[in-house]
Structures are given as C-alpha cells and as structure tokens.
Amino acid sequence: MGFAVAFCVLAITVPIFTLDNGLMRTPPMGWLAWERYRCDIDCQNDPKNCISEALFRDMADRLSEDGWRELGYVYINIDDCWASMDRDANGRLQADPKRFPSGIPHLAQYIHDRGLKLGIYGDMGTHTCGGYPGTTLDDITTDAQTFADWEVDMLKFDGCYSNAKEQEKGYPAMSKALNATGRPIAYSCSWPAYQGGLPPKVNYTQLGEICNLWRNYGDIQDSWSSVLTIADWFFNNQDILQPAAGPGRWNDPDMLVVGDFGLSMEQSRSQMALWAIMAAPLFMSNDLRTISSGARTILQNRVAIGINQDPMGVQGRRLLVEKSGIEVFWRPLSDKASALVFFSRRTDMPYRYLTSLAKLHYTHGTYQIYDVFAERELGPLKDSTDFVVSVNPTGVVMWYISAPADADQNSAHMGEKLRGPALHRKSDGILL
C-alpha cells in the first residue's frame, strides 16, 4: 500500500493470540436483538416485537431470504431476557416456556437449516442485567455444556451482578469450559467494559488468548451522540486498542443501529464506514422486516463489507483531526490496498477538503480510487496531485485504494476486486 512504515510494522509484528477454536478469523457479522428490542417480554400486547422464538425465526427468515446471509450476516443472536426465572431440576438454564415453547435446541435447528448460526446470552454473575439467572463460578461448566448440547454457536457473556475478582476467575474459566465441550462456540466477553476498557485493569494480551471478541465500552444507543461517543473513545485510545485486534480476536464497539430511528442516512453511512475501518463486528440491531431501502443499501454495500472483512485483520486508525472539523481515517488491506475515510463533524454545510495522498503519508505512485458509497471508480490519482473531497455534515466519503502501479494495471486490478452484480458500478471514469 505504501503507507508510513511505522504503522505497517506495528500491524504485522503483533503476536497472534486467539481462543483455541479457530473461529472468527474475520469480524463476525449478523443480527443481535438488544438495542432494538431490549427486554420486551410483553408478548400478549406486542407479539411481533417481544423477545420470543417467533422474533428470532422472523429475523432468520429475513437473513436467509433477503440477501444478507450471502454477504456474511450469518449470526442470529439472542440477548438478555430469554430465560426462565428458574433453573430446571438439574440446575440447568432453561428458556422461558411461554415465549420459547419449542426450546432453544429447536430454534437452533431452525436457524441452522437456513445456513445461519445461533448466538445466546449469559452473564458472569448471580443475575443477568435484566434480572434473569446468571452464571456463578459454580455454574460455568454446566452452562457451557448446556449451550453446547443446544448446538449454540456463540456466547455473549455479560458481567452484571459480579465483582472484579469473580470476573477475573469467571471469564477465563468459561473460555476453558467452552473449549472442553468439543463444540466450536465463539466467545464474546464483556469483561473489559466492566473494568474501564484500558490497562492496567484490562490485559488485552490475556483477552486475545481467551476470547474471540470483547466489549470494551458501554452500550450503544439509537442516537448520533452515542455513535460519536463510542467512536471517539476507540480512536482516542487507538494506540492501546489497535494492537489487540486481529484474526480471531476483535475489539467490539457494539451494534450497528443503521435502520433504526436515530441516525440520518449520512450518519448511517458514517457508522458503517467507521465500524469497517475499526475491523469491528457488524451486528445489526434493527427490524429487518421493515428496514428502509436506504438503510439496506448501506448495510449491504459489498465493498464496505469487504473492507471490514479483510483477511489481514488489521484494525484501522485515525490519522488527522483538522480544525475544519474534518477527520481522516486509514486502514491497511490485503494485496497492498487500503481504505480511507474522510469524516465531517460539521453540522452546517458540505465541506470541500483539500489534500493529497502524499500529505496522508502515501508513498510515490499512481493509485486507483473507488468511492465506496457512490459506487464508482474515480480514475487514477498520483500521490502528489492535490484533490478535493466534498464531505456532507456528519457524513463520510469512503475510498478503496489499490496498490500503486501504472494506470492500466490498476484499472485491471480494481475491476477484478470489485466485480459483482450487487455493486452496480458506474463506468463513467470520473476524474478527481
């Protein structure tokens, strides 16, 4: 790609520590109930939206029938409030019999039959955050085996109603117990979020050895201010967080709220772009039955997804914070390619940002540029050539940038990388 050597050395010399299950070599993608549906258990008055097997079947149908599964959105994840208030006679967790009358194993089979995977929620504590039975230290082996017996594919392990000492024992113990079941179960740890997210309380080397992904920060809400707060925390602490991420071990800034109520289309593109740059898990929390065409187009953008899913697995960085309110983000990709995001914090009008690839530390050469959300090639661009990008208020311009080469080779390379019916590419050859 030709970016500054220091960043590249940082990215490729970090040792790889992963949970010994071979899962999530790229960031996981799917759908997660919590932000949109919370703990709605009123199935009598709100049957379409309550936490029930019907809701998860509906979302599985949508993932499998509406083009999501083929793009990588394969997890259907249950969050809190699924369980009965009591364990069974053998001390095992059980689903609420009214809302999940068929049981979790039957739901897992329904989801697997559609080429998808089932995630479930637990809590390292006496109770879940919603007040349902938690997993104490004595319950860890039993609960891990229960999830394996149910053919669950992922566990999100929260941390309400526990203390730091219990978490220090419980999160590694659950990792070991999941592995011991013999079933590959991806493991999402909320441990760092309960310890402030940063060293010395959080040991990211250890997390990379026991967890596939982890929540570093608080819950996302359906608002632009929440998205900004989370993104700022991650990029303000990127020197600590970036080396921790890699294939099989991901920082998790929480769910995509694109398609809900709080973000404009510009802000929705911004969240998708920033999460892709961060190599973040892409778990949508929305209603796939009623999602707008605009939100669907953003979430199903093949090139944005491809950037997020890049197999090299290097988390991106914020390069610049300009006084004008423009920020620039960068991520190295496979085949010596890269992604750039120009993001505007402004709220007044589109801003014309002047720069060059050389000013952004790209080395000498000619690069081919593809505008991810406009879905068009922009033509060859020399590193030394000044260009202007117009960035809308609270919006982004996202570029996929090929490796430097001569123009003909670059054009062929881009055509190969971006080929696909869902791209709807424009071949108008617009130059910058």
pLDDT at 171: 98
| pLDDT of the residue at 370 | 98
Q: Do domains 15-308 and 317-417 have the same CATH topology?
A: no
The 10s digit of each residue's pLDDT in 216-274 is 999 999 999 999 999 999 999 999 999 999 999 999 999 999 999 999 999 999 999 99
Q: Which of 61, 66, 219, 222 is catalytic?
A: 219
Residue 345 has pLDDT above 90, yes or no: yes
pLDDT confidence tier of residue 19, bands split at 50, 70 and 90: low
Cα–Cα distance list, 272 to 169, 268, 348 (Å): 35, 6, 22
Residues 6+ apart with CB under 8 A from 308: 26, 27, 29, 275, 276, 279, 280, 282
Residue 7: pLDDT over 70: no
The answer to whether 308 and 282 have CB atoms below 8 angstroms apart is: yes
Share of the chain above pLDDT 90, in %: 88
Q: Which residues pair with 283 in a beta bridge?
A: 30
pTM of the model: 0.91
Q: At residue 50, does pLDDT exceed 70? A: yes
DSSP state of 345: -
Q: Average model confidence (pLDDT) for the chain?
A: 91
Is 86 tagged catalytic? no
Distance between CA 55 and CA 217 in Å, rounded?
27
Answer yes or no: are the C-beta atoms of 276 and 308 closer than 8 Å. yes
pLDDT above 70 for 200: yes
Amino acid (1-letter code) at residue 147: F
End-to-end CA distance of the chain: 20
Amino acid at position 189, single letter:
C
Please tell me the predicted confidence (pLDDT) of residue 10: 35
Provide the pLDDT for residue 425.
28
C-alpha distance from residue 227 to each of 51, 129, 180, 332 (Å): 25, 22, 37, 23
Domain ranges, ordered by start, for the chain: 15-308, 317-417
Q: Which two tokens stand for residue 429?
A: 């050859």
Q: Is 219 tagged catalytic?
A: yes
In this predicted structure, the answer to whether residue 69 has a pLDDT above a threshold of 90 is yes
* Confidence at residue 20, expressed as pLDDT on a 0 to 100 scale: 73
Residue 278 banded pLDDT, cuts 50, 70, 90: very high
Position 60 scores a pLDDT of: 98
* Token pair belonging to 110: 């329904």
Q: In this structure, which CATH number among 2.60.40.1180, 2.60.40.1170, 2.30.40.10, 3.40.50.2020 belongs to the domain 317-417?
A: 2.60.40.1180
Task: Select the more confidently predicted residue: 416 or 432.
Answer: 416
Phi, psi of 387 (to 5 degrees): -140, 165
- Does residue 340 carry a pLDDT above 60? yes
What is the rounded CA–CA span in Å between residue 341 and residue 274? 8
| Residue matched to tokens 């890049």 | 310
Q: 19, 343 in Cβ contact below 8 A?
A: no
Summarize the confidence of residues 404-425 as an average pLDDT.
Answer: 41
* Both tokens assigned to 121: 């929620």
Judged by phi (left if over 0) then psi (alpha if -120 to 50, else beta), residue 90 lies in alpha
- Domain 15-308 classified CATH 1.20.1730.10? no
Q: Catalytic pick from 123, 158, 287, 383? A: 158
pLDDT digits (tens, 9 = 90+) for 75-132: 999 999 999 999 999 999 999 999 999 999 999 999 999 999 999 999 999 999 999 9
